[in-house]
Chain A
Amino acid sequence: MNVDVLVIGGGAAGMAAATAAAQAGARTQLLERSLRLGGVLDQCIHPGFGLHRYNAELTGPEFAHRQREELYASGAQVCLGTEVIGVDARARQVRSVSPQGVHTIAPKALVWAAGARERPLGALQVPGSRPSGVYVAGLAQRMVNIHGLLPGRRAVVLGSGDIGLIMARRLHLEGTEVAAVLELKPFAGGLLRNVVQCLDDFGIPLLLEHTVIALHGRRRLEGVTVAAVDGSGRPRPETQAFIEADTLILSVGLIPETELVPFVERDPGNRGPAVNARMQTDCPWVFAAGNCTVIYDLVDTVAASGAVAGEQAAHFALGRMQGLGPDIRLSRGENVAHMVPTSLSPGVPTRLSLRVPQPLGRARVLLAGREIARRPGLRPSEMLEITISHELIAQLDSCPEAKLEVIPL
């Protein structure tokens, strides 16, 4: 089959991309490595998804179900159990493998929607022993919610990202005692609603400015030494304490999966590919969407980014892409940790997602010195969504670069 748009990854971004590409008239194929569409949505059995996209509060599997229905209705072809093993930038070929064999596809456009992986313990260089009982939160979540297997009896959660908070509650509900959730920073990493609904409601303590400084136990984890940290994140040895635990859950960050597309330019702040308003990388036939571009806060936004990438990839593949001029690169000014896209495209109205590095309260957002938004209660766990109009982009047209900054009020 001749493929116009090939989508890699069957999570929220990939499903939305394939749906949009097929709806735009492109012959579309989606490759998913597991045997189910949905990505991490299937293991997220808690509610809170879909308020923007479906105007309903859904669980992860319900959200995935709606997306699957849309995808199958769109006519896109889906290949499950198919792992991408190489992308040849020059030949524009994608090599994949499944139990049916090794295949090479030469699509006209590619949407990279491979999601993110979890940062492992080794990235933190925590000293001590290396026992069993240490899990990244997503692994623990799969064990509990997909396989019905309980990791342990007494847990410490390191990191207060959303998945860490969700897992603290999930383990508590399954009878695992959750001794504490530790967060290195002076503020929680996850959404405020998750701190309240997952920790406060169940009496699970959140220890801010704390971290694990040693693991104990030669076979199974026996406990962790924790300590408070100073302003620069260094442990203060005089505060150290031992917490007995057979389980350590890590929620210490997600890293966009881009190892198979090393040829595209990456944005150092996002750690994913730099993309313009079409979600197009500097390698013109390669588009990217979802958590492999930046770690988003809401699946709704992930799906929205996929829809943009899919539609634009279809336009590119079918020779219908219209540009009104060169992209305008966004540069990071003050208080911009993550931003997607990383450049604006004249003629393409843009929804900009932006994450601040620390809680700022009320602040205004400036683009090339012009105020484009003013929002209260800015915090790193919640991204700002700002619509940038066609007209505003036209006003920037003459400059190759525009500074994005967030100024607290």
Chain B
Amino acid sequence: MRAAVIGAGVVGTLIARELCRYPCDVLLLDRAPDVGWGITKANSAIVHAGFHDAPGTTRARFCVPGNALFDEVCGELDVPLVRVGAWVLALDESELEVLEELLARGRANGVPGLALCSPREVLADEPAVNPAVAGGLWAPSAGITEPWALALAAAENAIANGADLRLGHAVTHVRVRNGRVYAVQAADRSWEADLVINAAGLWSDRVAAMAGLEPPPLTPRRGQYVLLDKAARGLARAILFPAPNPLSKGILVLPTVDGGILLGPTAEDLAPDAREDTDTTAEGLQAVVQGAQRMVPGLDVSLSVKVFAGLRPESPSEDFEVGATEVEGFYQAAAMRSPGLTAAPALARWLVREQIAPTYALRPRPEFRAARPAIPHPGILDDQAWNAWIERDPPFGKVICHCNQITEGEVVEAIRRGARTLDGVKFRTRAGFGRCQGGSCTDEILLILARELGIEPSAVDLGLPGSTIVRGEVRP
């Protein structure tokens, strides 16, 4: 059995990993130069409780089970998960009705532990919240993670179990004969495939069209964010949602797993072809700050260390497109808008275990290894454990990123595991993710990349091909 998974985001990598449990040659293709550089890289990083989605939708169907699977998946893959819980805040009496609706929705979806709380209870837990708050809906099962870390971990684990990852490979054709897929073409090369899984994110409508389907076109919906320094820690202990509006879940304030505070996103529908327009705008950033300050008035925007934007796919149905299609062997994991991250583990499991495996009579391989160790981060260990790493490899005692206390050993390990760019190192180790945003470590990491890869510093990219840091040499 040969399977090609198109898209190495969190959805595609988890599907590829799930396929590796079966006797199946798995090919994982992505157009980007690294894993998780599409929607996965720039979203709110929330494991949703599941009270936002209307019962009966595919989103609701996969969100709560997906949430429940996160402990297992993040445990096996050594990815951070913190169940900080979520509040939906009613900022005036009129919004209390919305909380009641969400409570009913959540209960219908099977969300555990939901509770409507008084302003006093909200403020006792979240002292920075607007004192005018009229009430809150508490959802203890909501959590935060690092979606790119999950995608990288799932890809590493899939590779360790035999998958073939090809980055920089944009699929151009899905070959179909007599109503069934037989090959995919990418980067001028053809791969035979009995199964093709479309997890192409923002491009999944185009990939579906390559297979001869007529999917509704996706619209890129842009979300802008502002990331605050760790000094803002404490502004939000849990994820803070406003009462939602019809377009989105609103502008949130939430902690990140490494201790910062994230504000956003906006929800801006762009033109259908603006699928790379991750620009931020003055208006968008202002909306983020204003929205956040509505919930947390004392928020200090001067602690901002980074602004960014991501795109999420929106289909006319506002729902996922998942499962078998009229083309035999072509499966959809498409239009994964929010809560796509939360749904991903449950979707991957359902698609592979309940759709593909029975159809093709696949039996699990006993040799599959589910565990993947994270890149060691001795900065969080005690003296003895850190010294053990240093004894094995002294660069684990050399701190490169001073803000996040990331060592040279970690950077080298990230490169060993596939990082080829500064962003590749950053998303694997958090080096350069801190309050100075690489001001003090960019040159060091650049030189380590050049040394380890055996290339000139001028050949090292920040991210996309052509995004070099160095453009020449100084006079001798």
A interface with B by C-beta (< 8 Å)? 33, 81, 83, 85, 95, 97-102, 104, 117-118, 120-123, 125-133, 135-136, 138-139, 142-153, 174, 213, 218-220, 246-247, 259
On chain B, the residues within 8 Å of A143 by CB distance are 443, 470
- Is the C-beta of B371 less than 8 angstroms from some C-beta in chain A? no
CB distance from A245 to the nearest CB of B (A): 12
Within 8 A of A (CB), among B424-476: 435-440, 442-443, 447, 457-458, 461-476
Contact, CB under 8 Å: B442 / A139: yes
Contact with A along B206-249 (1 / 0, CB 8 A): 00000000000000000000110011000000000000000000
Chain A residues lying within 8 Å of B458, measured Cβ to Cβ, are 149
Bound CA span A97–B380, Å: 12
**Are A132 and B469 closer than 8 Å at their CB atoms?**
yes
Take A102-B383, A127-B282, A174-B475 as given contacts and tell me if A132 and B467 are in contact as well, using a CB distance cutoff of 8 Å: yes
Closest CB-CB distance, B382 to chain A, in whole Å? 9
Question: Is the CB of B402 closer than 8 A to any CB of chain A?
Answer: yes
**Is there contact, CB below 8 Å, between A219 and B304?**
no
In the complex, chain B residues whose CB is within 8 Å of the CB of A219? 463-467
Chain B residues, Cβ within 8 Å of A123: 302, 304-305
Report the number of A-B residue pairs with Cβ-Cβ less than 8 Å. Answer: 148
Interface majority SS (helix, strand, loop, mixed), chain B: mixed
B394 within 8 Å of A by Cβ?
Answer: yes
Given A127-B285, A259-B435, A99-B402 contact (CB < 8 Å)? no
Instruction: Pick 28 A–B contacts, CB within 8 A, sort by A.
Output: A85-B405, A99-B394, A118-B440, A122-B227, A125-B301, A126-B307, A127-B280, A127-B281, A127-B282, A130-B308, A132-B467, A132-B468, A132-B469, A136-B436, A138-B439, A139-B439, A146-B443, A147-B457, A148-B476, A149-B457, A149-B458, A149-B472, A149-B473, A151-B469, A151-B471, A218-B464, A220-B466, A259-B403
B: residues with CB less than 8 A from A are 226-227, 230-231, 276, 278-282, 284-285, 301-302, 304-308, 379, 383, 386-387, 390-391, 394-395, 397-399, 402-403, 405, 435-440, 442-443, 447, 457-458, 461-476
Q: Closest A residue to B281 by CB, please name it.
A: A127
Which residue on chain A has the smallest CB distance to residue B303? A123
Q: Is the CB of B474 within 8 A of A174?
A: yes
For B399, the chain A residues whose CB sits under 8 A away are 33, 83, 85, 97
Q: Using Cβ atoms and an 8 Å threshold, which residues of chain A touch B437?
A: 120-122
B42, chain A: closest CB distance, angstroms: 10
Minimum CB–CB distance for A220 against chain B, Å: 6
| CB-nearest residue of chain B to A136 | B439
| Given A85-B379, A127-B285, A132-B462, CB of A99 within 8 Å of CB of B475 | no
Is the CB–CB distance between B440 and A153 below 8 Å? no
4 nearest A-B pairs in the assembled complex, by CB-CB distance: A132-B462, A122-B306, A99-B394, A120-B437
A246 B402 Cβ-Cβ under 8 A: no
Instruction: Given contact pairs A117-B435, A127-B282, enumerate 11 new A-B contacts (beta carbons under 8 Å).
Output: A98-B398, A99-B397, A101-B397, A118-B440, A122-B305, A127-B284, A131-B467, A132-B463, A132-B469, A139-B438, A220-B466
Residue of A nearest to B308 (CB): A130
Task: Indicate if the CB atoms of B386 and A148 lie closer than 8 Å.
Answer: no
> Are A220 and B307 neighbours in the complex by a CB distance under 8 Å?
no
CB–CB B464/A153 < 8 A: no
CB distance from B287 to the nearest CB of A (A): 12
Provide the residues of chain A in CB contact with B440, threshold 8 Å: 117-118, 138-139
Tell whether, in the assembled complex, residue B307 and residue A125 are in contact, meaning their CB atoms are under 8 Å apart.
yes
Give every chain B residue within 8 A of A122 (Cβ-Cβ).
227, 304-307, 437
User: Across the two chains, which residue of chain A brings its CB closest to B391?
Assistant: A101
